[in-house]
Structure 1
């Protein structure tokens, strides 16, 4: 699907489509990566009567709900899942332990930093649950990281979207 296709879905389904796609992305489920959907959402907002702030808040809420769901997965079954994963892929054990140690040493600051790194930003929620970071603090640091990430990508589309659209046509 191309930019015009995503804009078409946003035009037809609006903020609900934005929420669902961002939620799925933060749940690590297949779909559109945020690096694609968020700038396109910015383009859509810039060329519609929708509010940038509303779209950003909806994207942050979707990201936070997805992150909290993965935190819960880590909290209530993450150790078991990580052990099974390491047994299946033993070479990944060192990498996983490094990330767990990073969270143990940095705490919620590590969550915030991780929310700004591609691929790590969605996966970090499971180890955060496994090591039982304070949920309220985890949620605040996650929301701040998600706000910066989503805001940067959505702003890029909002500001530079006309250039992209002109080059596509």
Structure 2
């Protein structure tokens, strides 16, 4: 299963480049069950064979991380903790791999350690995405949130992309099977997921982010 996912990520990023990488990392941030531990080393491997550059891969991944973090930050601004808990208890989100306990862990870390957890937790699987929700709920300033998110994501993305880059030979088997890993139907499904996530962000989250920006400017 993991090899199939590696091949899928390699094929997507190889075919669509930096845009695919940013979109996959965005999805990984919005839907934490998608593992960046597979996406980023795949990008690093492709950088090692010249499909993209390592700095370019890191930048594209960081852009995707920031946009995904804004989505969950907006969720935190829109939903109270109680409403969020009820939402996470629903069957659709359980089916997507969300767990109420994971969000409660992120909320607990934020309450105990404050805004700095947005920076530190970017290097902690699962929590690295969900920490954006309590940041939004708490009313954390957007400028500080953005800075901490970029810095923490930059570290995480650099480490994992570099792993794939410098261990390129370990990815050769997955790369050789990548060309046949994705058929047209799979590409359609993935593209539809990216589009749906983008529409959801524009319709539901962007207005909240704009309101946050206006509020920031009035302080």
Indicate the TM-score class for this superposition, using the shorter chain for normalisation.
0.7 to 0.9
Identify if the C-alpha distance between structure 1 residues 57 and 166 changes in structure 2 by more than 3 Å, giving closer, same or farther.
same
Change (3 A) 1:98 1:34: closer
Contact 1:78 1:126 in 2 (8 A): no
Counterpart for residue 150 of structure 2: 143
Aligned to 2:111: 104
Deviations 1:138-165 (A, max 9, x none): 1111111111111110000001112332
CA distance in 1, matches of 2:107, 2:8: 39
Structure 1 residue 127: deviation in Å? 1.1
Q: 1:160 aligns with which of 154, 167, 177?
A: 167
In the alignment, which residue of structure 2 is the partner of 1:24? Answer: 27
CA distance 1:132–1:27, shift in 2 (3 Å): same
- State whether residues 22 and 59 of structure 1, in contact with CA within 8 Å, keep that contact through their aligned partners in structure 2: yes
Q: Which consecutive unaligned segments of at least 5 residues does structure 2 have?
A: 91-98, 177-219
Spell out the pairing of 1:124-143 with structure 2 (5 A cutoff).
124-143=131-150
1:51 corresponds to: 53
Ranges in structure 1 where 5+ consecutive residues have no aligned partner: none
Displacement of 1:101: 4.5
Query: Normalising by structure 1, what TM-score?
Result: 0.83
Q: Please give the alpha-carbon distance, in whole angstroms, between the structure 2 residues aligned to 1:104 and 1:4.
A: 39
1:72-124 superposed Cα distances (whole Å, 9 cap, x missing partner): 11011243533425887xxx988866643432342221111111111110111
Q: What is the TM-score when the length of structure 2 is the normalising length?
A: 0.66
Aligned residues of 1:46 and 1:52 also touching (Cα < 8 A): yes
Q: What is the alpha-carbon distance in structure 2 between the residues aligned to residue 82 and residue 138 of structure 1?
A: 20
In structure 2, what is the Cα distance between the partners aligned to 1:156 and 1:145?
17
Work out the CA distance in 1 between the residues paired with 2:88 and 2:27. 25
In structure 2, the CA distance between the partners of 1:41 and 1:93, relative to structure 1 (3 Å rule), is: closer
Q: CA RMSD in A?
A: 2.7
